[in-house]
Chain A
Amino acid sequence: SAVISQKPSRDICQRGTSLTIQCQVDSQVTMMFWYRQQPGQSLTLIATANQGSEATYESGFVIDKFPISRPNLTFSTLTVSNMSPEDSSIYLCSALGVGVSTQYFGPGTRLTVL
């Protein structure tokens, strides 16, 4: 199994600012993903973080708003740019282990935008 940590665990930000969330996996993984979970809702996939290349975004999400980096196999960052109150959500990182079909999730980052 893979253990995933995220930093920060929570933050309160002012509108118009940006926040970068870090995701660290304790072992090599094949794929990494970023999800958004709005209050009381299910998970929505934002993008697939590709190592050494641009992330692949899902419909409704764009790179200018959610730039993603993945400089190596075990680390990724998601930036929420020019935040508005509508961006208040839990942001979750997940990873797919090598040779397995199980996705492991980080504990999430709870973001509140005032």
Chain B
Amino acid sequence: TQLLEQSPQFLSIQEGENLTVYCNSSSVFSSLQWYRQEPGEGPVLLVTVVTGGEVKKLKRLTFQFGDARKDSSLHITAAQPGDTGLYLCAGPNTGTASKLTFGTGTRLQVTL
């Protein structure tokens, strides 16, 4: 069974602070995705990382895929209240790539 553990589970910070969310597994994934889910909505895909060591930037968000493709991180610079939400990493299941295993989730709250 592929498991994705995220840390921290909860994060409450003030506007302007930086933060990093981690997604770790003992399994190798062919790719990892990061989603953000806001209250009352479904998850929305932020990025997909495919190559070990890959770094992708999306405005103030920086995503990194570990060299061994077992872990990933999401770094947010100068967080804003609009970044508030549940952040989820997800990876394709071994054998059925269209199915996703979701991480345990990190709930971020950014206050003024």
Given contacts A33-B99, A48-B99, A103-B100, contact A43 B88 (CB under 8 A): yes
* Cα of A103 to Cα of B92 in the assembled complex, Å: 11
Enumerate chain A residues within 8 angstroms of B42, measured Cβ to Cβ: 4, 92, 94, 104-108
Given contacts A31-B98, A96-B98, contact A42 B44 (CB under 8 A): no
Enumerate chain B residues within 8 angstroms of A103, measured Cβ to Cβ: 45, 100
Contact A105 B43 (CB under 8 A): yes
Contact B88 A45 (CB under 8 A): no
* Cα of A44 to Cα of B99 in the assembled complex, Å: 11
Contact B105 A42 (CB under 8 A): yes
Given contacts A107-B40, A107-B41, contact A43 B102 (CB under 8 A): yes
Instruction: Check if B7 is an interface residue, CB within 8 A of chain A.
Output: no
| Closest beta carbon of chain B to A65's beta carbon, Å | 20
Interface residues of A (CB under 8 A from B): 4, 30-31, 33, 40-45, 48, 92, 94, 96, 101-108
Interface residues of B (CB under 8 A from A): 40-45, 48, 88, 97-105, 107
A-B contacts besides A43-B102, A45-B99, 15 pairs, CB < 8 Å: A30-B98, A31-B98, A33-B99, A43-B88, A44-B102, A45-B101, A48-B99, A92-B43, A94-B42, A101-B97, A102-B48, A104-B42, A105-B42, A107-B40, A108-B42
